[in-house]
Amino acid sequence: MISPRSGQLAWSRAELREVARNAESVSYQLQHQGGQDQLRFAATSPHRLLEWKRAEGSSLRLKKSLMLDYWNHHDDGDEKLLK
């Protein structure tokens, strides 16, 4: 597991279980030694991670996703596409 506070990576056993599915997303519970995380992915490819609620109380939610021809967007000023 990755700790958002310390940035440490530690391997441990975990159990992943699907808990809900609909046309838009698939939700999972991840049980691990630190507790239980909730993960929600897009149901369609490329199955983006939409939301992650951590056992210790922090959470992440996808605000924006772009599918760009990135090989054409590497010049100075192209960072404006990320806003």
Q: What is the pLDDT of residues 32-63, one digit of tens each?
A: 988 999 999 999 999 999 999 999 999 999 99
DSSP secondary structure letters along the chain: -B-TTT--B----EEEEEEEE-SSEEEEEEEETTEEEEEEEESSTT--EEEEE-TTS-EEE--------GGG--STTGGGGG-
pTM: 0.74
User: Who contacts 19 (Cβ-Cβ below 8 Å, separation ≥6)?
Assistant: 27, 28, 29
List the chain domain ranges.
14-82
pLDDT of res. 38: 98
